[in-house]
Structure 1
Amino acid sequence: MTVQEALPGISEHEFDAGEVRLNYAEGPANGAPLVLLHGLGRRWQVFLPLIPALSMRWHIFALDLRGHGKSGHVTRGYQGTKYSDDVARFLSDRVKIPAILFGHSLGGMVGMWVAAHHPELVRSLILGDNMILADRIPTPMYAALFSGLRDIAQKHFPIDEIAKGIGRIELPLPGSGEAVFIRNLPGNDEAYLLSWARCVAQTDPDAYNMAIDGSALEGWNGEMVLQGISCPTLLLQASRELGGLMSDADVTLATRLLHHHTHVKFRTLGHALFIQQPEPVLRAVTNFMESLPE
């Protein structure tokens, strides 16, 4: 089934960002531009649970970041500044008017970078449970996750084997000495693991490598980036007990430094947020965007 058949009005295109060609999905021009940025090892399709509702009110652009999905790969080219340069060029050359940026995880950090360094391109910012203060993987759980996904991505298995491999990754749980297989975590059924596997199959292993060794966020200073953001910003914080990345310290700093902010904490959602439970996230995002001045 094509994208157009599954989502009427949504079509995929390519954009030349200079160093790399980016794949993106675009919806009908039903309102102000809303640009969706996925996390590490994902692709634009992770926003499918939200796109049908959001595309009725906003003009959706959902990118595959470099090294992800159908976008091009660049050896050792996955620094945060590279991702953000791609997005800034896309906003300037393709979107052409200030956009709402909604970034999840890595996509949230990219959105922060763009909003701080190119404020003329960003109308408002939505941060989906991304790190702010940390400049590398903050917990053993995510180190184990990214290492496991990297090892799987390097082997080019069929999709069903990738899904099984993801399910067999063992993660140390936050705040306890216990470990659990991904397949045994709530919500990680066969369909979810298969959809995740399609993302991993299209991810350059180098993107994982640079996250693991810290070079992806070389030069990151969350406090300085926050000081450069002037647009209205929504912070979506997942539960730390369920694997959330945005810490209370992140939120405290952000609410002190951001000029206009809204904070929503989801006590029953983990880091995946809308990927598995879209309704509460859709409600928070919609309320925030509808509150923005015309």
Structure 2
Amino acid sequence: MARIGKKAGMIAVFVIAAIALAAGIALAAYVDNNRHGEARDLAKASAACFVEKQVELARTGLGQGRLGQGDGSLVPELWGQENRPPVPALSPTTLNYAEGPDNGPALVLVHGQGMQWEDYARVLPELAKRYHVFAVDCFGHGESAHDSALYSCQAIGQELKDFAAQEIGGPYLVSGHSSGGVVAAWLAANDAEHVTACLLEDPPFFRVTPEEMQAPPGCFVWKDAFEVVHAYLGQDKVADPAVYYAQHSYLFGLFGGLQPKIAEWTAAERAANPDAHLTLAWVPHDWVRGLYFYDDFDVRFAETFHDGSWFAGVDQADLLSRIACPAVYLKAKTKYGEDGLLLAANSDEDAARVQELVGACETIVVESGHDIHYDHPEAFVEAMDRVAGNN
């Protein structure tokens, strides 16, 4: 009996040790993914021969909603007039982008707010096999110009139209995510001669303006992003917008007592690595991914959604109705919070309007978070191939 007991004890020790080892390995993998997962995705894109570049654009057009002489003032008197007065010459502006190998038709990728071209890293290697990809940094993001005169749909659209003419010089496909999806729609409608197809990835149509976002039941992005940024810009106690967001985030507030700890870790991480993308070892990366690129994000871009100037001069229904090329509308499934808040880019009713207004459109609904190309890269690539006629 003693031998049996001793043997059982040894087995128990081995089992406990094995469990502890497995737990240690799982914890190490969890921390490693939080810290380095994005970098590994980017390394794969680099291995697929993507090269980061910059180009100076001549700024030949003055888009509707473009701001004035660098002082933040709108100049609506110049919008859409036949014989408008001469516009003062504008200095060239820098657009940063990553270009892949020339393996097929040109494809312009436009990321969402708060991101940058690297947000597409998970899908770039596969896309590079059959497209000539140009993934841009929108103005106010990444290494592109941080110039508030360019923080509007019209201005970004016009500059990307100029970019396509200058660097592609022919037909191209376009895909945009979130606010980038609205820009992609603008390009499809306003550069119809060259845009052959478009993929609209979860754009917030009919939930773009301040009035639309605040209409009952309210939108997550208004409470979690635009209200927080507006409050940040109105105070002077917290210098770092990422830290301020962590302290006041609606999302982190849902975690109860964990929010102060996340804010504390964010402040410590930003202080230790002020020029690096934000990663937190102990917080699931998906929870804080919206802050990952905040080191290269001008939050004044977000303020234009709070005051409505980002979408000035654009009529959503008219814009969508002028898209004549084949289109796929890739929508994340609509969800609502326990408090009734819309936890999606827009509602099913809004999505139905998009489908109705875009002539040759196919709507595909995916069970996913907002960033479909990150959460479900295979679904995104399949949708891209579908609208391009590659499957």
Same fold (TM over 0.5): yes
The answer (yes or no) to whether the contact 1:30–1:55 under 8 Å persists in 2 is yes
Letter in 2 for 1:237: K
1:257 aligns with 2:348: no
Q: Give the one of 51, 55, 58 matched to 2:124.
A: 51
Paired with 1:229 and 1:165, the residues of 2 have a C-alpha distance of 39
1:124-135 paired onto structure 2 within 5 Å: 124-135=197-208
Q: Give the one of 95, 99, 103 matched to 1:22.
A: 95
For residue 53 of structure 1, report the CA deviation from its aligned partner: 0.6
The answer (yes or no) to whether the contact 2:224–2:251 under 8 Å persists in 1 is no
1:223-238 paired onto structure 2 within 5 Å: 223-238=317-332
1:1-294 paired onto structure 2 within 5 Å: 7-8=46-47, 9-17=49-57, 18=59, 19-137=92-210, 138=213, 139-147=218-226, 148=228, 151=232, 157=240, 162=242, 168-171=247-250, 180-181=254-255, 189-192=283-286, 196-241=290-335, 243-266=343-366, 268-291=367-390
For residue 220 of structure 1, report the CA deviation from its aligned partner: 2.2
The answer (yes or no) to whether the contact 1:20–1:66 under 8 Å persists in 2 is no
Paired with 2:50 and 2:207, the residues of 1 have a C-alpha distance of 36
Report the secondary structure of 1:219's partner residue.
coil
For residue 250 of structure 1, report the CA deviation from its aligned partner: 3.0
Paired with 1:47 and 1:265, the residues of 2 have a C-alpha distance of 20
The answer to which of 122-131 and 283-292 deviates more is: 283-292
Residues 1:5 and 1:285: Cα distance change in structure 2 (over 3 Å): closer
Paired with 1:281 and 1:81, the residues of 2 have a C-alpha distance of 26
Paired-residue identity, %: 24
For residue 166 of structure 1, report the CA deviation from its aligned partner: 5.1
Letter in 2 for 1:143: W
Paired with 1:271 and 1:132, the residues of 2 have a C-alpha distance of 14
Report the secondary structure of 1:124's partner residue.
strand
Unaligned runs of 5+ in 2: 1-38, 60-91, 260-281, 337-342
Letter in 1 for 2:356: R
Paired with 2:309 and 2:303, the residues of 1 have a C-alpha distance of 9
Letter in 2 for 1:55: A
Report the secondary structure of 2:305's partner residue.
helix
Paired with 1:75 and 1:226, the residues of 2 have a C-alpha distance of 26
How much is the aligned-residue C-alpha RMSD, in angstroms? 3.0
The answer (yes or no) to whether the contact 1:46–1:275 under 8 Å persists in 2 is yes
Corresponding residue pairs, total: 278
Letter in 2 for 1:235: Y
Unaligned runs of 5+ in 1: 174-178
Report what 1:176 is aligned to: none
The answer (yes or no) to whether the contact 2:219–2:344 under 8 Å persists in 1 is no
Larger gyration radius, structure 1 or structure 2: 2
Task: Tell me the TM-score normalised to structure 2 length.
Answer: 0.64
Paired with 1:127 and 1:140, the residues of 2 have a C-alpha distance of 20
Residues 1:216 and 1:85: Cα distance change in structure 2 (over 3 Å): same
Residues 1:237 and 1:142: Cα distance change in structure 2 (over 3 Å): same
The answer to which of 223-232 and 141-150 deviates more is: 141-150
Task: Tell me the TM-score normalised to structure 1 length.
Answer: 0.83
Paired with 1:68 and 1:254, the residues of 2 have a C-alpha distance of 27
